[in-house]
Amino acid sequence: MPAGLLNTMKRSLIIAPAVLALAAGGWYLSRDTGGSAPAPVAPGPSGEESEASQDPLPLLDQLRQVEAAPSGERSQGVLNKPLLSLLARRAADGDALPGTKVTINPREAEDEDAAITVEMGSTEQETTELEPGAWLVTFEAEGYVPEAREVDLELGDEELLEVSLIRGAQITGSAEDRFGQPLAGHKLFFLAPGQVHPRFPRDAEGILTTAIDRNGEIEPITIPPELYTITYGNLGTPRLKTEGRVSAGEDAELSIVYGGRSRVRFELSSVPDEEHRLEVRLEELDEEKAARDQERLLKNPELAARDRAKGKSREHWRARGRAQLRGGVGELRRAKPGVYRVTLVARPGEYSSEPIFTLEQDQSYLVKIQTPALPAREGNRKGDPKLPREGPLEVTIIQDPQDPDMREDGLYWR
């Protein structure tokens, strides 16, 4: 083939594609587009770029977007703080229970101020925004048994917590000893069928329990209708036990009577004039001090001989209870058991009985005192002798088991 013809054919192969491209472009521009210019076409992302654009933002960036979002709006495409919706119904008919108090406590927090309180209004449900984590949610309504639920919330969660509250009976009352003094520090346990009084803290889980405050008042508790065994005390062996059935909507009062130290009442046979301020004491022999004196006398026979010659006694008495006499009457409550003598202090006179008074636990006693011949007072009390004159005191001890003010130990329904 001639060289000239070969070169011409090569140039044609190179130019032909360019001519075709120009022809196609001219046809595209000459189309009827209704008078509007063709829209520019942006270059599309590559496959790798398209996949990367669909990946979620890092968690830290999402949180920043949440914080930057306007108040009241939840950002789209990011993880928001969890939302918890609350709904309380009556178990009897399923209707909403307005007025329910909801307390939300973080499980990890020890500070009580961290609790969130929500009052359920007339609307069926309330919604609150919380931090991610574990929460204990307690529903309470007057006359209904409280119910607690645990929820674990994560970023982006929207959960509904719905409970049905049971109508119960509220238990109130008081605790006192047999002499009317308030008791505090113990608990009441309401044992459903199959439950037993707890011996250890782990045994108390699932048992309805309430405490008794420092004034002896039972802290109110609402319990479901049931036949209960009610025990009084702390962990271990109960001090008192009884049974009782409670019904829905029928509140009840419980009276606890337990123990109490002995009570002693003093009465003078005659009331002296008002010039004498009278006080009666229960005095107990100080055996430790008497033992020390006895040991000292054994080491010093001459001192012991002088004491015997003078008729001096080395007994030491200490007061274990005092009562002012008004109108010839006084009273001691919660006196400790022991062996005592009765001493009447008239200032300047002091009169003591023999140590014949044995005080027992949980007993009531009446001590009748024969009024002695009290000395006439002269001048003010500054002139009273430091060592008052001692004299015999005649007393009559009467145990009074039929004291109408005393009650037997027990749990009583009012």
DSSP assignments along 170-228, one per residue: EEEEEEE-TTS-B--S-EEEEEPTT----SSGGGGTT-EEEEB-TTSBBPPEEE-SEEE
- Tell me how many helices (H) and strands (E) the chain has: 5, 25
Q: pTM of the full predicted structure?
A: 0.56
| Both tokens assigned to 205 | 């889980």
Q: How far is CA 140 from CA 78, 113, 135, 228, in A?
A: 35, 19, 16, 22
User: Where is 361: in which H helix or E strand?
Assistant: none
pLDDT at 377: 58
What's the confidence (pLDDT) of residue 398?
79
Q: How far is CA 64 from CA 75, 78, 125, 131, 175, in A?
A: 11, 10, 30, 15, 57
Instruction: Pull the structure tokens for residue 87.
Output: 């709904």
Residue 387: CB atoms within 10 Å: 7
pLDDT value at residue 25 = 53
Distance of alpha carbon 124 from alpha carbon 96, whole angstroms: 6
Q: Which two tokens stand for residue 2?
A: 């001639």
Q: What residue ranges do the domains of the chain occupy?
A: 80-165, 169-257, 262-299+314-373+386-399
3-state secondary structure of 80: coil
The predicted structure's pLDDT at residue 67: 54
By DSSP bridging, strand 364-369 and strand 262-268 are parallel
pLDDT at 265: 86
Q: Give the orientation angle of helix 301-310 with respect to helix 287-299, to 10 degrees.
A: 120
> What is the spatial distance between Cα 74 and Cα 156, in angstroms, rounded to a whole number?
10
Tokens representing residue 364 in the block: 């009531």
Provide the pLDDT for residue 197.
Answer: 96
Pick the CATH number of 262-299+314-373+386-399 from 3.40.50, 1.10.3470, 2.60.40, 1.10.12: 2.60.40
Tokens coding 294 = 């006895």
Q: What is the pLDDT of residue 406?
A: 67
pLDDT at residue 401 in the model: 55
CA 56 to chain CA centroid, Å, is: 47
Query: Considering only the top CATH level, what class is 169-257?
Result: mainly beta
Q: Is-contact 265 329, C-beta < 8 A?
A: yes
The CATH homologous superfamily for domain 80-165 is Immunoglobulins (2.60.40.10)
Are the C-beta atoms of 233 and 394 separated by less than 8 Å?
no
Query: What local confidence, expressed as pLDDT, does residue 319 receive?
Result: 85
CA dist 376 → 16, 68, 235, 241 (Å):
151, 93, 59, 57
Segments of the chain scoring below 70 in pLDDT:
1-78, 109-112, 122-123, 261, 273-276, 307-308, 310-315, 348, 375-391, 400-406
Question: According to the model, what pLDDT value does residue 36 have?
Answer: 46
Q: What share of the chain is helix, strand, coil (3-state, %, to 5)?
A: 20, 40, 45
